[in-house]
Structure formats: structure tokens, C-alpha cells
Amino acid sequence: MIPNGYLMFEDENFIESSVAKLNALRKSGQFCDVKLQVCGHEMLAHRAVLACCSPFLFEIFNSDSDSHGVSHVKFDDLKPEAVEVVLNYAYTAQLKADRELVKDVYSAAKKLKMDRVKQVCGDYLLSKMDVESCISYRNFASCMGDSRLLNKIDGYIQEHLLGVSEQEEFLKLPRLKLEVMLEDNVCLPSNGKLYTKVINWVQRSVWENGDNLEDLMEEVQTLYYSADHKLLDGNLLDGQAEVFGCDDHIQFVQKKPPRENDHKQINSSCSGRLSPPNAVVHSPKYEWKIIASEKTSNNTYLCLAVLNGVLCVIFLHGRNSPQSSPSSTPRLLKSMSFEIKQDDPVEKIMAPMQYARSGLGTAELNGKLIAAGGYNREECLRTVECYSPQMDNWTFIAPMRTPRARFQMAVLMGQLYVVGGSNGHSDDLSCGEMYDPNEDDWTPVPELRTNRCNAGVCALNGKLFVVGGSDPYGQKGLKNCDIFDPVTRSWTSGTSLNIRRHQSAVCELDGYLYIIGGAESWNCLNTVERYNPDNNTWTLIAPMNVARRGAGVAVHDGKLFVVGGFDGSHALSCVEAYDPAKNEWKMIGEMTTPRSNAGVISVGGIVYAVGGFDGNDFLNTIEIYNSKSNEWSPFTKSFKS
């Protein structure tokens, strides 16, 4: 069409054709002037295209003094597949991602400040949300600081609270248990006003009394609702402990003496404590919010709330006098941790990890069990969890810089070292990193000279040994032994093994280094080698009874315990112990669950088996060995005082 004498033509296929060609140029690396380094992956692209789509990269490129060279932008906290999805969107305006990858795409979009992609990913998550997944989605939205997503998820929880309360994720949440005594002729207020008073009481406890939020959750708190509608500490009645019978098995106890408010100082930097009310706080960890509440029976209330940034459940029961009993069994009794009668022994399953992990690294550090990385339903993890045997709970420490699995971890000079492994998507890794518990941070260590996966890692005589493993081109075992000196921060070659092997168990005992089992290619080995640092030699010793790869090993009572693994057909539950004095292996009690590629470590004189793969599922469970009974058990026995 030619209006007013001007030639006007619009090619409807031009843009589509051009962006397709431009994306093809990116994938072939032609005319690219920017290199994204994402957790070991290198991705080439065009600076102008990325600058148009990502305000984050626009700022970087705009401040790059060497604008004529190839820019390098490094991301250690993003998933390569997610970045590839975002790159495809930048070139084609099409966002295509598997369901399991959407959260990672969201994280990449957040980093790159691509708000439209964030919104689309958030809306997709909302469309897939149900009562089973909404708690984990909320945790993700909270971590991302997405108030829009949080508000929509909270609205869903408000409508489906009772259904949500029956889910496993809900039952794992920390909970605040309140027993409220009512004066005669006084009733509890409506839900909204009631929980406003509860939050005010928690804030007073933290701000004015210096209480720790976690401490408030350890036992049932007895409160008092007065005739003038104030919610007060129950100990204000007489300052003495009160015991209120509930049924044959549960009793509510208020043990705390009157608080000495004048002698406590408020420390706003302490974990679980808050700034005083007049402080200006911008951090989301200080969020206080009632998400949803429900009256579950007469004078029994359930609430999901955020207290000082902690998502938790508040369970409240009101009663008219100390002698009266609840009119009905609380709906969520199975999810509560009410105090059991004194000296009543409790046998319960040990707390599972937050993530299922196979091919993880484990170590003992300062009396705690460290579990790092691993595969979780084919996803490679960066997260690191810390288990306290005394508290029977898992907490997170700083995540590794690189996702990795099929690696081993060792402690050297009070610090954790991880080397090599696989991130699940590229060739085997050569990078390593070190964790400093004082800084709660990981820093890189010099790279191995070759990529290495499924290698054994162990500390011996102040140095780090990396032994065996698989080459970067296949699954053939290696004889290599590399030694890292933390003082000179350099790698040297050590004496080679007698047999090629990968997926072996490696451990130090009495000044010797042992490498146990594994596979040459895929054929499992029962052979064992011992390294003597005095003459710098590897010697074959007595073989195991069972050939296995992917087993774990720990030292217990002067012996080597080799646990689980894979025999080429099945994940194993069998365990055998090596006595160095007799140079012989003996079968001992089997685990309750088959585990291959599990973490095995001795902490406080107790051998733990952590995670792994049972042939069907990735595991987040743990079990321990009882040397007296020669049995493994997932239970911990304790006494509640």
C-alpha cells in the first residue's frame, strides 16, 4: 500500500526470522561479545541483546571500561539450565521451562532484574499450587522477597488452612503452644483480636524480657487472659510452676520463675531476638504477620503466622480454671510437641534432612554432622545442612558456591574441603572450595589439574588427598592421587594406586590411608588398598566380603566400617568391619534401609548413615549403629525432663 506517495511495507515474518537467526548465532558462538560463566558453564551471547532485556546486565556493560573486548560475567548462584531458558527468552520472547526448573528460572530473572519473567514464573507457580505445596512455595516466595507472590499464597492458605494443616510440610513447622487461663465469666476474643494479642505478647517477651523466640517454643507457655482483656504471663499469678492435667499422657507445665526484667539487656543482633519497638528495621527477617487462623473446637485455635521472620504454627487452648479439662481432643494433636511426663522414655525417629540427598559429602565438624550437596531427584544441590545430635535437628549453614554431587568432603585444620564432583549438567568438576566455620562462608581453592568425579577425599598428615575417581570422558576409573598443601595452596602428584577405581570409600585410620572397593569401569570391586606415608606406597590388603561401589566408610572403635553401596544390581544394606590388627573383614548388623551413595560418618563415637538412594527413592533419613546390640536404628532414645 502506498498512501500519500510514500512506500509502506511491513514484513510480518521479518522479526520472527531475525530473532531466530540471532539466537542461532548465539548458540554457535558467532559474533558474540559477552561470556556468561554460570557454575562452570560458559555461555556466549551478544552484549546489545542482553542489555536490552536485563537492567542488571545493562548496568554492568555500561560501566565496563573495556567495552571493545569480550565481557565476562560470572554467576555462582544460578542454575545453568535456568540461565539458558532466560537467554532463549531474551532472543525469542518465548519462555519455555520444565515445571521443575521454574523456581530456578525465577531466581535467574530476579538476579537479572527481568521483572516480567519473574511475574510469569510466579503466576505459573500459583497455578500449580495446592495444599501440599503451598508451604514450600511460601518459603520460596519469602526467600525471594516477593510480596506480590506472598500475598497471593497467603490468601490461598487462608481459604484452605485446615487442609494445609494436615500436610507433612505443615507438621514440620516450628510451633508455639499456648495454654490460656481465663478469669470467670471471661471469654477469648475473636480470632483476629486474639492473635493480635498473642503477637503483642511474643514481642513483649522478646523486646522487654530478652527471651529467645526458639526458647518460647520449647515448652507450653501458660498465659492469663484478664478481665481487662490483657494477655499476661501465667506466672504473674503466683510465680510458681503450675501443672494442669489434660489426659493420661499429656500435661501442660509452666516452669518459668518470674522474670528479672531490670537485669536483662536486649540484644537486637542475637538470633531470634528483635530490635526495640522504636528501632527502624528494614530487613524482612523482622516480619510479623498472621497468615490464617481457625477455631478448631471450643476454645481451641490454630494459627499460621510469621514471628520475627519465622514461619510457624501457633496452637492455643483456653480454659476457665486450672481444674477444668479440654472439651475435646485438639485437631492437630499429632503435629504438636507437648511436654511428656517427666522420665517417660521417648523413642522417636531422628529428624530427617530438609532435602533428600544422594552422592552427598559428609563430615564431622565441631561435634556436628555436616551434609553437603548431592542429588535430589536429579537436581544437584548447593545447600549444606548441619545436624546436632544433642538437639536432634538440622539447620542450614552457608551453601556451597557450586552445586555438586558425587564428591567427598574432609576436614583439614578445622575447615571443610570439597573438591571435584559433578554439577549434574556439565563435565566433571575440577574446582574446589573451603568452608570456614568462623565466617560461615565458602571460598575457592586452587583447581585440580584434571576434572575429577567420584574421587575419594581424605585428610592425612596436614594435607588433603584426592584419590581415584572417574575421568572427564567416561566412567573409567583412575589411579591418580593428588595432594593439596593448605600452606602453599598448591597441588602435587602422589603415588598412583595399584588398581583403577572410582566411587570408592576413602578413610584415614592410625596414620594410614585406605581406599576401599569402588569400580574399575562398572564392575564392582572388593579389593582394598592401604597407603603408608612413611614409604609412600600403596599395598593391597585383605579384600571385603562383598564387592561394592558407592559405599560409605567411617572409623569406629579402631575399625573401619564400610556401609551400604551398590553391587551392580541392587542398593545394599549390608555392613562389614575391618580389623587392622587381624587384617580381616567381618560382616556386622545390616542397616534398616538399603543405601547407595550415602554419607557415612562417625560423630561423638556413633556411626551415622545419611541419605543415599535405596533403589527407588532418594533419601533424607538417617540411622545410627548401636555397637552393643549390633543393630542399626532410625530411632533416638531420650528422656524429657
The CATH number for 19's domain is 3.30.710.10
User: Does the residue 273 lie in any domain?
Assistant: no
Grid coordinates belonging to 131:
495444599
Whether residue 501 contacts residue 510, with contact meaning beta carbons closer than 8 Å, is answered with no
Q: 81: phi > 0 → left, psi -120 to 50 → alpha, else beta; which? A: alpha
* Contact yes or no for 582/605 (Cβ under 8 A): no
Q: Tell me the sheet residues that pair with 443.
A: 434
d(CA 592, CA 589): 9
For residue 78, the enclosing domain spans 12-128
**Single-letter residue type at 575:** V
Rounded to an integer, what distance in angstroms lies between the CA atom of residue 231 and that of residue 225?
A: 5
Q: How many CA atoms lie within 13 A of 76 on its CB side?
A: 12
Is 195 domain-assigned? yes
Q: Do residues 302 and 161 lie in contact, with contact meaning Cβ atoms separated by under 8 Å?
A: yes
The CA distance from 62 to 544, in Å, is 62
Strand partners, 394: 387
Are residues 572 and 439 both part of a single domain?
yes
Residues 6+ apart with CB under 8 A from 508: 458, 459, 460, 514, 555
**378 and 290 within one domain:** no
Identify the domain boundary among 128, 159, 186: 128
- Written as one letter, the residue type at 287 is E
If asked whether residues 512 and 594 sit together in one domain, one would say yes
Are 480 and 539 within one domain? Answer: yes
CA distance 386 to 603: 12
| Pair (400, 291) in one structural domain | no
Q: Which helix (H) or strand (E) holds 171?
A: helix 168-171
Does residue 33 lie in a domain region?
Answer: yes
Model confidence, pTM: 0.50
Q: What is the largest CA-CA distance in the chain?
A: 102
Task: For residue 268, give the nearest of 202, 208, 199 by alpha carbon.
Answer: 208
pLDDT for position 25: 85
Number of folded domains in the chain? 3
Pair 609, 466 in one domain: yes
pLDDT of residue 640: 34
Question: Angle at Cα 610 formed by Cα 606 and Cα 614, nearest 5°?
Answer: 130
Question: Which sign does the torsion angle of CA 608, 514, 595, 366 carry?
Answer: positive
Low-confidence ranges of the chain (pLDDT < 50): 238-285, 321-346, 638-641
Q: How many residues does the chain have?
A: 641
Residue 286, C-beta contacts closer than 8 angstroms, at least 6 positions apart? 274, 275, 308, 309
In eight-state DSSP terms, residue 220 is P
Cα distance between residue 163 and residue 626, in whole Å: 40
User: What are the pLDDT digits (tens) for 249-274?
Assistant: 223 333 333 333 333 332 333 333 33
CATH of the domain at 444: 2.120.10.80
Please tell me the distance from the alpha carbon of residue 491 to that of residue 538, in angstroms, as a whole number: 19
Angle at which helix 134-144 crosses helix 147-159, to 10 degrees, equals 160
Helix ranges, 468-536 (H): none
Residue 350: which of 153, 583, 611 has the closest Cα? 611
Among residues 452, 150, 412, which one has the least CA distance to residue 306? 150
* In a shared domain, residues 421 and 502: yes
Note the pLDDT of residue 454. Answer: 92
Residue pair 342/349 in contact by the 8 Å Cβ criterion: no
Final residue of a domain: which of 294, 319, 344? 319
Which of 58, 47, 52, 54 minimizes the C-alpha distance to 78? 54
In angstroms, the CA 90 to CA 476 distance is 40
d(CA 377, CA 356) in angstroms, rounded, equals 8
> Distance between CA 430 and CA 362 in Å, rounded?
19
Cα–Cα distance, 487 to 481 (Å, whole number): 19
Residues 299 and 399 in one domain: no
Q: Rounded to whole angstroms, how far apart are CA atoms 51 and 224?
A: 60
Residue 338 belongs to a domain: no
CA distances from 205 to 182, 332, 516 (A): 20, 26, 55
**Are 304 and 394 part of one and the same domain?**
no
Q: Are 293 and 276 in contact (CB under 8 A)?
A: no
Cell of residue 341, nine digits: 511426663
Helix, strand, coil share of the chain (percent; to 5): 20, 35, 45
Query: Is residue 280 one of the residues assigned to a domain?
Result: no
Q: Which helix (H) or strand (E) holds 372?
A: strand 368-372
Residue 308 and residue 430 in one domain: no
Same domain, 489 and 552: yes
**CA 248 and chain centroid, separation:** 38
Measured between alpha carbons, how far is 512 from 523 in angstroms, rounded to an integer?
26
The rounded distance, in Å, linking the Cα atoms of 154 and 291 is 6
Between the alpha carbon of residue 20 and those of residues 42, 84, 91, the distances in Å are: 21, 15, 8
3-state secondary structure of 529: strand
Measured distance CA(156)–CA(226) in Å, rounded? 34
Give the three cell numbers for residue 359.
552422592
Asked whether residue 369 falls in the same domain as residue 458, the answer is: yes
417 assigned to some structural domain? yes
Out of 128, 161, 184, a domain closes at 128
User: Rg of the chain over CA atoms, in angstroms?
Assistant: 29
* pLDDT recorded at residue 123: 93
Any domain includes 266 = no
Q: What is the rounded distance in angstroms from the CA atom of residue 612 to the CA atom of residue 622? A: 9
The residue behind cell 530438609 is: 354
Residue at grid coordinates 538417617: 622
Q: What CA–CA distance (Å, rounded) separates 306 from 318?
A: 22
234/219 Cα distance (integer angstroms): 13
Residue 256 lies in a domain: no
Place of cell 562383598: 546
Q: Would you give the end-to-end CA distance of the chain in angstroms?
A: 89
